[in-house]
Amino acid sequence: MKQYNPVTAEVVKALQDVVGEKYVKTAPDVLDVYKSDESLAPSYWRTPEVVVLPANTEEVAEIVKIANKYNVPVTPRSAGTSVSCGAVPVYHGIVLLMERMNRILEVNEEGMYMVVEAGVRTIDIQNLAKSKGLLYAGDPCSSDSCLIGGNLATNAGGNKAVRYGTTRHQVYAIEVVLPNGKIANLGAPLKKCSTGFCLDQLVIGSEGTLGIITKATLKLVPLCPYRLDVLAVFTDLGKATALVPNLIKAGLNPTSVEFMDNNFVRSASDYSDLRLPHYEDGYYDIISIETFNEDELDDKMEKLAAICEACGATDVVEADDRVWTVRRNCLESTRVFSKVATSEDLVVPVTKIADCIQSLVEESKKYDFRVFCLAHAGDGNLHFQILKCDMSDEEWEKQLEEFRDVAYKYVYGLGGRLSGEHGIGFKRLDYMEKYTDPVELELMKSIKRAIDPNWILNPGKVISAD
């Protein structure tokens, strides 16, 4: 196991010299805040020894150099909404908070891009783009709290990925502090580029293990003026999930295709204090269509209604804000039932999503924990929220292990992977080792060793140091 040195008074002094005393936190009550993220998995939490808030890229670079000099690990942290224990400092050491680096540096309407520091909130980017008649298409459900650097580091997905892709598809270029403290500018605002390795894309999605992202040049696209959201309600799980591949094949190019099982329909409706159709027995598909032309929207809506009907929808209604409120509150709503939970983030080919949801929902009935299922179904990404209820810690761990083994083998058999958007973090590290092809895993480790020989950046995440 990798060994690090403790954060001594000398290290704290060196950090203070870089960012100022005010921005180096060592008080136990402050450190306690940064031991966890949104993962609700207390057994994974670890307390940092010091929290540092740099103001700019140069300060980030100096902090990383200090970490190398004293052999102390650094965990970059944005808003801490990770549900994979990504922002947890596994080996303690330094937590580097990005929240002071929150300036929007440029909006280029003609070139359709925006340059931002990594600590800008995602929703602020979305809103600013919208005010210019443009769209920033990254849209995780946590967008009102998460920061763009966290989205880039995890390659966050969300509600618009079916049409626009995940966060990595919204980026022209990034500025990164490498594990040796050098500053690299990777990528460029170009439509195409075949000039060497695509290093920006290597860093994006690496969960802070290959570099600390400090700035990003984000793509903007024209905002579609016409949009309609539809709620298709089913009273049969099989029919609700079978709609998805049919929709994709029909060429409607939807922006979102979201699925919620009835457990989520009820818990999120209660939490939001709203009643939607078939609260008692409904499975929901929420579909968004956007167009640049009113006739095209009408045409697509007609086709959509016909497909929903043919697939056995009980109700097909316009989805207003209430539906999206319920959808956005899904994860939060389950916290009423249990403070210990885990969120699975499996991804399979879109053609297999219906089979996958049905099989794993059936499998989950064999266990004592409570399972809620929702899916970014249009991109084959399903989330199981698994809640510990009336069981000992030992039984919880044992049953979870058994379920995961069955689920992961099944998903890999379908050609899927462990995580579609939340990342591996600390939580899935062992499973990453177990399920990843050994040649692929060794390649990842070789890259990590080459870029970060001291294994300083975010150790204990994605791939094991051993």
Using CB under 6 A, list all residues that contact ligand FAD.
Answer: 37-38, 75-83, 86-87, 98, 118, 140-142, 146-147, 149-151, 153-154, 156-158, 207-208, 212-213, 331-332, 421-422, 425, 458, 461
Q: Which is nearer to ligand FAD, 150 or 416 (CB)?
A: 150
- Backbone phi and psi for residue 163, each to the nearest 5 degrees, phi listed first: -90, -40
Number of C-beta neighbours around residue 440 at 10 A: 9
User: What single string gives the DSSP state of each residue in 19-83?
Assistant: H-GGGEE--HHHHHHTT--S---GGG----SEEE--SSHHHHHHHHHHHHHHT--EEEESS---S
Min separation Cβ 385 and ligand FAD, Å: 10
Q: Is 290 helix (H, G, I), strand (E, B) or coil?
A: strand
Distance CA 161, CA 431 (A): 25
Min separation Cβ 373 and ligand FAD, Å: 15
Ranked by CB distance to ligand FAD, the top (closest) residue is 150
Q: Which is nearer to ligand FAD, 307 or 357 (CB)?
A: 357
Residue found under tokens 């902090």: 63
Min separation Cβ 120 and ligand FAD, Å: 10
What is the four-CA torsion angle of 118, 122, 126, 129, rounded to 10 degrees? Answer: -10
Q: Which is nearer to ligand FAD, 95 or 243 (CB)?
A: 95
Query: Residue 82: CB partners within 8 Å, gap ≥ 6?
Result: 37, 38, 39, 88, 150, 154, 422, 423, 425
Cβ atoms 93, 67 nearer than 8 A: yes
Q: Which is nearer to ligand FAD, 38 or 285 (CB)?
A: 38
Q: Which is nearer to ligand FAD, 153 or 463 (CB)?
A: 153
- Backbone phi and psi for residue 288, each to the nearest 5 degrees, phi listed first: -115, 135
Q: Which is nearer to ligand FAD, 122 or 364 (CB)?
A: 122
Min separation Cβ 85 and ligand FAD, Å: 8
Min separation Cβ 93 and ligand FAD, Å: 12
Give residue 450's identity as a one-letter amino acid code. A
Min separation Cβ 444 and ligand FAD, Å: 15
